[in-house]
């Protein structure tokens, strides 16, 4: 940890906090929900040791980065602009961008819209899925069936916050474990991805006993400490822009990502499982795909559950560029 260097850059009208390690070609690491730069704690030293300048950010709305009040401040266009601005503020012209969970769509779209800045891209857990003709909230409503799909549950400001912030540490622990490859697999009628009307996400959480090898009490303390200070609205506001993104990015609909790409998912992870159709389209949507790797027994927290395998995949990809 002593080799981690914390920094702040003012870009795109906000403050972005980042942690970096190493020197060399820039690799930008973008986290998802509900995490922080800390989710790349295993990747920073591995990338630095291989000769790269690894920079893990707190996405806007998280940690020590700015948390704008307006919901539309979290639209995809702003996240891409944050990444572009940070690369330049770090004194670089180009970077490889890597993203997990919501960070994956941010990374995919950064490479799609600004291939001049992002020379290669890797997505963890969430495959590249070009927007279709259906408005996202309509699609999510259909996915929920008789219940609410979790992204639909997140739409109303303040509603999910009331659940998540009641006991931050317990909610995070339950969510992390339930979405991992170590949790018992729920019955289809009891999936954590949907919520009974009037219910809560936590009603279907499982809790570890003992803690899994990849997640310690100290790790949960780090995450809980951040969200107890910041709350969850910044992270949840990303979900509240799905329709706005669909409209903003209409001009890119149907376009392939033309830079080299890598995907790593887990076979026990919901987004990877739901994304099979998108993965099958990779020859068209990612014509310069290096590899698509599905890790057996791995859940959603790819780079934390399987750090050695993810690091090996990332380094193999970076060496191929």
For residue 251, the model assigns a pLDDT of 94
Domain spans of the chain, in order of start? 5-320
Please say if 300 is a catalytic residue. yes
For 51-101, how does the pLDDT look when each residue is reduced to its tens digit (9 = 90+)? 999 999 999 999 999 999 999 999 999 999 999 999 999 999 999 999 999
For residue 23, the model assigns a pLDDT of 97
Q: Give one DSSP letter per residue of 176-232, joined into a string.
A: HHHTSTTSPPPPGGG-TTEE-TT--GGGG----SS--TT--HHHHHHHHHHHHHH-S
For residue 294, the model assigns a pLDDT of 98
| List 58, 101, 219, 269, catalytic entry | 101
- Whole-angstrom Cα distance, residue 215 to residue 220? 7
Task: Report the candidate in 161, 189, 191 with the shortest Cα–Cα distance to residue 178.
Answer: 191
Q: The CATH number of 5-320 is which of 3.40.50.2030, 3.30.479.10, 3.40.50.300, 3.40.50.1820?
A: 3.40.50.1820
For residue 189, the model assigns a pLDDT of 47
For residue 2, the model assigns a pLDDT of 65
For 185-230, how does the pLDDT look when each residue is reduced to its tens digit (9 = 90+)? 765 545 788 999 999 999 999 999 999 999 999 999 999 999 999 9
| 300 pLDDT higher than 70 | yes
For residue 275, the model assigns a pLDDT of 93
Q: What is the CA radius of gyration of the chain?
A: 18
Per the DSSP assignment, residues forming a β-bridge with 148 are 195
Tell me the pLDDT of the chain averaged across its residues.
Answer: 96
Please say if 116 is a catalytic residue. no
Q: What average pLDDT does this structure show over 38-51?
A: 98
| 42 pLDDT higher than 60 | yes
Q: What average pLDDT does this structure show over 250-265?
A: 96
């Amino acid at each position: 940890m002593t080799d981690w260097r914390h920094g702040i850059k003012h870009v795109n009208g906000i403050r972005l906090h980042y942690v970096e390690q190493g020197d060399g070609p820039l690799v930008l690491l973008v986290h998802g929900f509900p995490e922080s730069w800390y989710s790349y704690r295993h990747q920073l030293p591995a990338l630095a040791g291989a000769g790269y300048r690894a920079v893990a950010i707190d996405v806007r709305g998280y940690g020590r980065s700015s948390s704008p009040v307006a919901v539309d401040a979290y639209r995809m266009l702003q996240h891409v602009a944050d990444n572009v601005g940070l690369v330049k503020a770090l004194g670089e012209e180009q970077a490889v961008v890597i993203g997990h969970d919501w960070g994956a769509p941010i990374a995919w779209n950064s490479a799609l819209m600004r291939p001049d800045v992002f020379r290669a891209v890797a997505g963890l857990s969430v495959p590249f899925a070009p927007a279709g003709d259906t408005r996202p909230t309509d699609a999510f409503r259909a996915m929920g069936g008789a219940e609410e799909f979790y992204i639909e549950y997140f739409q109303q400001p303040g509603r999910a916050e009331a659940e998540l912030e009641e006991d931050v540490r317990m909610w995070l622990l339950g969510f992390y474990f339930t979405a991992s490859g170590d949790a018992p697999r729920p019955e289809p009628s009891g999936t954590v991805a949907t919520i009974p009307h009037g219910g809560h996400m936590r009603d279907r959480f499982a809790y570890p006993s003992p803690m899994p090898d990849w997640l310690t009490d100290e790790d949960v303390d780090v995450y809980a400490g951040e969200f107890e200070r910041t709350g969850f609205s910044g992270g949840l506001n990303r979900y509240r822009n799905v329709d706005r993104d669909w409209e903003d990015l209409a001009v890119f609909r149907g376009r392939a990502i033309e830079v080299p790409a890598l995907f790593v998912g887990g076979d026990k992870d919901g987004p990877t499982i739901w994304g099979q159709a998108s993965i099958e389209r990779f020859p068209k949507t990612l014509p310069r795909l290096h590899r698509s790797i599905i890790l057996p027994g791995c859940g959603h927290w790819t780079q934390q559950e399987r750090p050695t395998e993810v690091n090996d995949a990332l380094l193999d990809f970076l060496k191929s560029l």
